[in-house]
């Protein structure tokens, strides 16, 4: 049995690796001259940078991303870390001395004494949601079953609420609400569009203190966050290794022009060179609108699936400045990653973003130091820094190429308020605009991170109306993030294994 996978991002390579392990003859077609898409490293003057602030969850033993990789025989070394948050009027850094798993709750009570009851109510809700996530599907004892039932009764009235409505239930102060809503700007989703019961999962407490234990009495109770030793690109190179070792092929500089469909069934692909590859299964990844409009064709889709493709909303893009410096920025920033928010009005910030209005960093940016976990990314005695902010794919006024140098200077000036003397220590810089990320990810609309997690919109399902044609990745039904891409690939391959793979004797 043959499979052709379109795209060599995390999802495409995971599908290919898992199918190769099942004995399939696998070919991955990648348009670029290298694998990995946005997981590939940017390089200049001896410095290398990851394409984003990749403090990742779910990669420790017993967690979903690690479990999927383990199926392929891949076990990555993860450096556990945390991040800080700085808002206009207060900061949230892990204390120098460990104060237990609830330190943020107690610190917030000192900052917002009038909100003490709401803070306690929020954290009861937070505990209930994590309990349901961990035990809801399969409680293992009668005590667990009772705990799950009680938690469900408590959260049920909150289930219809969007994120803003949920915050209004717990807190009056918008400055406190922004601590939990600010991260939604990274997803380009307005609080009124995001499901309220998902707020705890984008504000996991272990992301803010790496000392919080992940187990209790030998039982896994929390998931952790960390960086991949060797950078995130190590994940895709390991997947490519598994593919190769099991007889598969990864073909770079191989643009898929058309998915070949006969009698309602995918039978292979045609490359831009005119070469045709036959396949029993074709798996697409990357941009959903681009893949279905340009490589599949709407004539092969049902009206329902067409509507999903037309209506789902890709995220907006990012503007990044990668710096190589000759000093240690961690003298001033306690963690390798910190979010610096400049506004409390996330709803308005998202509205402006979608209208093509770039905030020039004034509404928020982050500083990430990838060489903290992976010193080999920078020459000895030096560090890599990434200054990053969300940005419109297309500007309402002007164009990215003409303003990128000025925008880079502005972000560096903002970062220098946090890292004194930064500009004096810059040895090199590399600017990445939405135009660059369109090219890197092969998108008409740069959507860094996938799709807007709007609770009212669907993403394209893995199974398409075309027999033996599947779609995975950050713009598919399991959405963005490393974990979503890995799980989506796993689910797709499992369906193929059960329904299309030849029975082994």
The domain limits of the chain are 2-39+230-312+456-499, 100-209, 317-441
* Positions of the chain with pLDDT lower than 70, given as ranges: 53, 503-505
Tell me the CATH number of domain 317-441, given options 3.30.70, 1.10.3470, 2.40.10, 3.30.519: 3.30.519
pLDDT tens-digit series, residues 232-261: 999 999 999 999 999 999 999 999 999 999
What is the bridge-based pairing of β-strands 91-92 and 84-86? antiparallel
- Find the DSSP H helices in 193-299: 233-245, 288-290
| 130-166: pLDDT as tens digits | 999 988 777 778 888 899 999 999 999 999 999 999 9
pLDDT of residue 503: 58
Domains 2-39+230-312+456-499 and 317-441 fall in the same CATH topology:
no
The reported pLDDT for the residue numbered 404 is 98
Q: How far apart are CA 199 and CA 162, in angstroms?
A: 9
Sign of torsion, CA 442 443 448 450?
negative
pLDDT of residue 505: 38
pLDDT of residue 143: 87
- Predicted confidence at residue 53, as pLDDT, reads 67
- pTM as predicted: 0.95
Residue 84 CB coordination number (10 Å): 19
Instruction: Output the DSSP codes for 293-323.
Output: IIII-GGGS-HHHHHHHHH--B--EEEEEEE
User: What's the fold here for domain 2-39+230-312+456-499?
Assistant: FAD/NAD(P)-binding domain (3.50.50)
């Amino acid at each position: 049995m043959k499979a052709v996978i379109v795209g060599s991002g995390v999802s495409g390579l995971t599908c290919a690796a898992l199918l190769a392990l099942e004995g399939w003859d696998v070919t991955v077609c990648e348009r670029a001259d290298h694998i990995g898409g946005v997981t590939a490293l940017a390089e200049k003057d001896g410095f290398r940078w990851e394409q984003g602030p990749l403090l990742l969850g779910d990669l420790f033993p017993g967690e979903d991303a690690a479990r999927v990789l383990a199926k392929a025989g891949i076990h990555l070394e993860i450096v556990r870390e945390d991040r800080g948050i700085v808002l206009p009027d207060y900061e949230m850094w892990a204390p120098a001395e460990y104060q237990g798993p609830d330190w943020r709750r107690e610190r917030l009570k000192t900052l917002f004494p009038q909100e003490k009851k709401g803070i306690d109510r929020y954290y009861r809700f937070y505990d209930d949601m994590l309990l349901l996530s961990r035990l809801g599907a399969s409680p293992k004892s009668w005590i667990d079953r009772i705990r799950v039932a009680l938690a469900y009764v408590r959260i049920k009235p909150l289930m219809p609420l969007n994120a803003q409505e949920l915050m209004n239930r717990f807190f009056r102060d918008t400055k406190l609400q922004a601590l939990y809503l600010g991260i939604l700007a990274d997803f380009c989703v307005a609080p009124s569009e995001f499901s309220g019961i998902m707020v705890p999962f984008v504000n996991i407490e272990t992301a803010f203190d790496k000392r919080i234990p992940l187990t209790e009495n030998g039982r896994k109770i929390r998931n952790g966050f960390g960086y991949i030793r060797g950078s995130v690109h190590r994940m895709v190179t390991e997947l490519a290794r598994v593919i190769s070792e099991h007889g598969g092929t990864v073909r770079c500089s191989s643009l898929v022009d058309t998915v070949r469909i006969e009698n309602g069934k995918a039978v292979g692909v045609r490359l831009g060179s005119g070469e045709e590859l036959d396949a029993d299964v074709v798996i697409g990844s990357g941009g959903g609108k681009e893949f279905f409009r340009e490589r599949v064709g709407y004539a092969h889709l049902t009206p329902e699936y067409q509507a999903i493709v037309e209506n789902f909303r890709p995220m907006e893009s990012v503007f990044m400045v990668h710096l190589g410096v000759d000093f240690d920025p961690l003298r001033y920033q306690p963690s390798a990653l910190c979010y610096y928010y400049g506004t409390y009005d996330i709803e308005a910030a998202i509205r402006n973003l979608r209208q093509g209005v770039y905030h020039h960093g004034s509404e928020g940016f982050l500083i990430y130091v990838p060489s903290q976990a992976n010193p080999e990314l920078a020459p000895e005695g030096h560090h890599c820094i990434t200054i990053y902010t969300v940005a419109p794919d297309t500007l309402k006024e002007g164009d990215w190429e003409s303003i990128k140098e000025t925008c880079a200077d502005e972000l560096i000036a903002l970062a220098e308020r946090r890292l004194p003397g930064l500009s004096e220590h810059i040895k090199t810089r590399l600017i990445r605009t939405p135009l660059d990320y369109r090219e890197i990810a092969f998108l008409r609309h740069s959507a860094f991170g996938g799709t807007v997690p709007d609770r009212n919109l669907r993403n394209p399902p893995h199974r398409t109306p075309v027999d033996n044609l599947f779609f995975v990745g950050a713009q598919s039904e399991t959405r963005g993030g490393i974990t979503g891409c890995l799980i989506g690939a796993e689910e797709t391959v499992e369906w193929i294994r059960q329904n299309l793979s030849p029975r082994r004797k």
